[in-house]
A and B are shown apart, each in its own frame.
Chain A
Amino acid sequence: MIRLEPRPDPSNIMIGLTPIFAVIATMIFGGMLFVFLGKNPVDAIRMIFWDPVFGEHAFYYRGQILVKAAPLIMIALGLSFGFRAGIWNIGAEGQFIMGAVIGGATGLALYPLDSFLVFPLMIVMGSIGGLLWALIPAYLKIKFNANEILVSLMLVYVAFNFLIGMVTGPLRNPDGFNFPESRSFQDFPSAHNPELWAGTGIHWGVLTTLGMVIFAYIAITRHIFGFNVRLAGQAPRAAKFAGVDPNKMIAICLGISGALAGMAGLFELTGPAGKLTTTFPVGYGFTAIIVAFLGRLHPIGILFAGLLLAITYVGGDIIQSQLSLPKASIQVFQGMLLFFLLAVDILVNFKIRIGKGISK
């Protein structure tokens, strides 16, 4: 008989090992999925995990990995604070969109102004856009006790419709033959977020993300704020006695995640995406939830998790073109990863005992 025996303290070894177990389990079961789809599983897994980094065309893919990892990491960093404190912002996708729309609109309003201040101003406005959008669920939670999970998620659909309204209305490219898209930021040098070194994929967002990882690391491990966040998550009552205001916590955690998601949206818009279109949101806000958990809500972990998920995105593009598998198969793969991670998580807090009897 299999029994679960609680550990006195969470196992530090398991905290590090379980994400690796989850990735291995995903490879095995993902491989089975590909067999089911009639493909060679070894080839498929190699294309997803190996080819983007070391394969024949890796010089191109490596840049793509950074481009995709940056928004994932930046959003996940913001989410990790709230998740630690038990505040569930799952509407990062909406905040990502609003950051891009508000920041993008600021830039478009200044078109074709030639000033080095335009891009920084857009970054600030993008962050504020995401911040304000995230403060809606925070306000409704604090004031009316409304569930932040449902409100933030509903606001994703509102934000998406707002984006459609904007690109078919006020933000539509005046010289664009009525297509539902904005002016391209590539034609607007002072608002463009270019690739800084050709072929590396590094743009301002990638650099900012790296800075944010360090910043978040200090905040969570060395600063009283990080301590309060962890306290509020693990012992809400103790946190209250220690003078942590739960309402303030809600506002700060949602605010941070919103601002970071908004900023990620702005970098994505002015760089890799290039312009606002109805297909601008590609689900980074949701995948970032997986990144946050896979990275154990820790900044350094999130850095690696973001890179890994970015690799699977690029690998997904490869299997799509080479094995003609639908794009969604990689989404299944990512969902599986989160499932296995949650499943093996039990090893952190419990020992598995086989056989009867109580251990001494």
Chain B
Amino acid sequence: MVKTRRAGVRSGARSEAVAGWLFITPAVAHTLVFMAAPAVGALLLSFSQWDMTSAPTWAGLDNYRAVLFDRDLYPDFLVAVRVTAYYALLAVPASLLTGFVQAYLIDAVRRGQGVFRLAFYLPMITAEAAVAAIWKWLYDPQFGLINGLLGVFGAEGPDWLGEPAMVVPALALIAAWQSGTAMIIFLAGLKGIPRNLYEAAEVDGARRRDQLLRITIPLLRPTTFYLVITGVIGALQVFGLVYVLFGRDIGGPESAGLTYVLQLYVTGFRDGEMGAASAMSFLLFAVTIMVTALQFRLLRREPA
């Protein structure tokens, strides 16, 4: 093999160009077929009427109009929007706050940093389906660990996944448990704060709490900003968790756990309305971009 490649002098730049293209061809071809084509397809589909069996027909903005405003055709769309917004509102702060406290404490201790990092990260690498199966059992109103422990202290726990009002808080508690990413990234942020800032503050007589409020938290602003964006984008896409948690009872009691992507899945793959599902996809995409842009703007307005 080596001998044949030693074919002697090649016209350098040309063979380099050929080699370069050969190296990237599989990736480029794949991207065109499985990313670019579906992206165009998704946009076109969102303007079409299509049930996946007959040919799609042009429907203009009908899908968007129906999804957004026709409550007879899509009665649950606004429910799903509300559930998802409420979930993001609870889950993102819950996960970030837990992750920050964990990171702050880990940064402060000398021994066992690795073990704590590991313990708090394990929930992140657990399969959604397994997370849901485990928490479904933890939340069991009669025999679950959570209500069992509450019972030991004489309190009566709610039917977490059975009472509509408890569903999203119960989901947010799972999000708080999955604080690993926030913890790791906050930890990196904390390690990036120059020690001499704290030393200077100490010399000036600043207490630890003041250091936290005046130095640590302000300097973590870019980190927090990044985590809020990625957290919200992730929260908008929750699917597997609620799908498995509620099983046959899709969306849970009174659709209190009907997240946006779950609704999208039902519309597209249960009801076979691909056009409407594509419109929902693009609305989600638009919101994602808006969230990102909005937060960039907010960050820029406040001098850090």
On whether the two chains bind one another, the answer is no
